[in-house]
Amino acid sequence: MKTTVVWNGNMSFSGQSASGVTIPIDAAKDVGGNDSGARPMELLLHALAGCTGIDIVLILRKMRLDVRAFSMEVEGTRADDHPKRFTDIHIHYALEGDLPEDKVVRAIRLSKEKYCSVSHSLNAAITASYSINGVRGKETI
């Protein structure tokens, strides 16, 4: 896997993925950026959400379950000292559809424990919760 990142001046960069997608990256104005792109640490949370989200949709489809809507809120806590890495990340999965709770929990666990390469590339403590059709799940994963 390969990506190319080009400096655009100031604190702005453009990332070109192997799949041809361009991703704008920038810093906040208070550190010399222009707020013209996502921050690198935000992209890390997006990558985690995208990875686990794809896993979960694939797993639930293999279970022949119909997901009508799916979103995730990802919250990362960062260390106070440099390099200010993520120390904890919490993902809340909100799914809608005729989805048995035990199947959703199994899909989340499989993504977290086996399939999501992004989460396995991080050393933060990652926890998850979920809701199905607006009802909060029974357990934290």
Q: Which pLDDT does position 105 carry in this prediction?
A: 98
- The full set of domains in the chain, from first to last, is 38-134 (3.30.300.20)
Hey, how many other C-beta atoms are within 10 angstroms of the C-beta on 3? 11
Under DSSP, is residue 65 helix (H, G, I), strand (E, B) or coil? coil
Amino acid identity for residue 19 in this structure: S
**Closest CA relative to residue 109, chosen from 31, 47, 55:** 55
The low-confidence residues of the chain, meaning pLDDT below 50, are none
- Please measure the distance between the N-terminal and C-terminal CA atoms of the chain and give it in whole angstroms: 30
Residue 113 confidence (pLDDT): 95
Q: Where are the alpha helices (DSSP H) in the chain?
A: 40-62, 101-110, 117-120
pLDDT at 123: 87
Distances (CA, A) of 51 to 7, 10, 72, 106, 122: 26, 31, 11, 16, 13
Which pLDDT score, from 0 to 100, does residue 49 have? 98
pTM here is 0.91
